[in-house]
Amino acid sequence: KNQVEQSPQSLIILEGKNCTLQCNYTVSPFSNLRWYKQDTGRGPVSLTIMTFSENTKSNGRYTATLDADTKQSSLHITASQLSDSASYICVVSVGEYGNKLVFGAGTILRVKS
Amino acid sequence: IAGITQAPTSQILAAGRRMTLRCTQDMRHNAMYWYRQDLGLGLRLIHYSNTAGTTGKGEVPDGYSVSRANTDDFPLTLASAVPSQTSVYFCASSDRGIGYTFGSGTRLTVV
């Protein structure tokens, strides 16, 4: 069964600190892995997308890593800001054309001052 | 601003009533999707459409129907709402399965 598991479920950090969110997946066949940010009351917005051959990808203060051998990904947030408070969702695309998405339950991040 | 528009934003619905959630996109994406998001679970696919005139069932299609008469619109209908359909519903579209754009969601409460 295709599954995406994220940890931790929730996290509270102080503004300015770094944090790392984890994603483990068991899907086949793997197409790509995406990280989304979802603000409260909004739809998910894409942060990064990585294919099998990519190990890391950055988007500003967000850096995603992918280890296709261990089927793990992480999202590192540097110098957190209050606006980073959101749910972060790991999504894996499955299939030859990558048009089937398997969503993790998300990690709720709260950044406090 | 290009994107996806969902309506209504929120709705309280009596059980047994019929309800249509509207979704319109202006990006000319071929594929569109309906997901539901429940607390503690990842988004789950209800129905999808790869192109105008075609639809398909997702992971949790029971109790829902969709139509895709044109490229821009993809309404989701609950024929007879039940409390288990209380959820937040997201419409999305994609360009060849590469970039996905999500709407802001419809929060539906069935009482």
DSSP state at residue A61: T
The contacts of residue A58 (CB under 8 Å, 6+ apart) are A48, A64
Which residues from chain A sit within 8 angstroms of residue B44, using beta carbons? Answer: 103
CA nearest A42: which of B30, B48, B6? B6
Written as six digits, the tokens of B60 are 């949790």
B42 and A41 within 8 Å at the Cβ level: the answer is no
Interatomic CA distance for residues B98 and B66, integer angstroms? 23
Contact yes or no for B105 and A45 at CB 8 A? no
**pLDDT score, position B14:** 98
By C-alpha distance, the chain B residue nearest A100 is B97
- A42 contacts B104? CB cut-off 8 A: yes
Q: Tell me what the pLDDT averaged over chain B comes to.
A: 95
How confident is the model over B53-65, as a mean pLDDT? 96
Mean per-residue pLDDT, A13-21:
98
Tell me how crowded residue B53 is: count the other CB atoms within 10 A of its CB: 11
Q: What does the alpha-carbon distance between residue B13 and residue B7 come to, in Å, rounded to a whole number? A: 14
Q: What is the pLDDT of residue B20?
A: 98
The fraction of chain A above a pLDDT of 90, given in percent, is 84
Interchain contact, A42 vs B92, CB within 8 Å? no
- Extract the tokens encoding A75: 């999202």
**At A83, phi and psi to the nearest 5?**
-70, -10
What mean pLDDT do residues B30-43 have?
94
Position B1 pLDDT exceeds 70: no
pLDDT, tens digit, 9 for 90 and up, residues B85-105: 999 999 999 987 678 999 999
d(CA B3, CA B102): 8
CA dihedral B40, A76, A109, A6 (to 10 degrees): 10
